[in-house]
Every structure is written in C-alpha cells, then in structure tokens.
C-alpha cells in the first residue's frame, strides 16, 4: 500500500478469491473488472490480516515500535 491509495478495493475484501469465477465468492455482487481500483460494492467487508514486516533489519523502527507498545501498555 502507498499513501492516498484506495482501501475499498476487491483485493482488500473478505469475498475476494482469485480461484473463483469473477474472483469473488459473493454471488450477488456485480462483477468488477479492475480489482485494484476503488469501487462501491455493497457486499464489501474488510479482510482481517496479520501485518508481517518485510524485514527485521531496520533496528531503529523495531526500537520505536517497542517503545510505542510500552507507552500504550501492550
């Protein structure tokens, strides 16, 4: 993701599945041609995913995250 990117896109939906027809498991939804562009599907629901950092090499970021967790009591 990048700044100012659309969040309400098919790729972020719980119904998105690249292995099914029209790449959507919700049968009532209208087909969307561009899955990475914002749309207004009434069946949209954000997919819940765990964030996994790309690399653990950034020690400064890790220290900042640890300090934030301590501050917030996590």
pLDDT of residue 1: 59
pLDDT of residue 51: 78
Indicate the domain borders of the chain: 1-48
pTM: 0.62
pLDDT of residue 14: 96
Mean pLDDT across the stretch 10-24? 95
pLDDT digits (tens, 9 = 90+) for 19-64: 999 999 999 999 999 999 999 999 999 999 887 767 666 788 888 9
Using DSSP's 3-state secondary structure scheme, residue 46 falls into: strand
The whole-angstrom separation of Cα 48 and Cα 33 is 23
pLDDT of residue 5: 85
């Amino acid at each position: 993701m990048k700044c100012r990117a659309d969040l309400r896109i098919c790729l972020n939906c719980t119904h998105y599945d690249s292995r099914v027809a029209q790449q959507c498991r919700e049968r009532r939804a209208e087909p969307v041609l561009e899955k990475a562009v914002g749309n207004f599907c009434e069946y949209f629901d954000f997919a819940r995913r765990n964030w996994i950092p790309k690399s653990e090499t950034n020690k400064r970021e890790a220290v900042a995250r640890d300090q934030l967790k301590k501050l917030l009591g996590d």
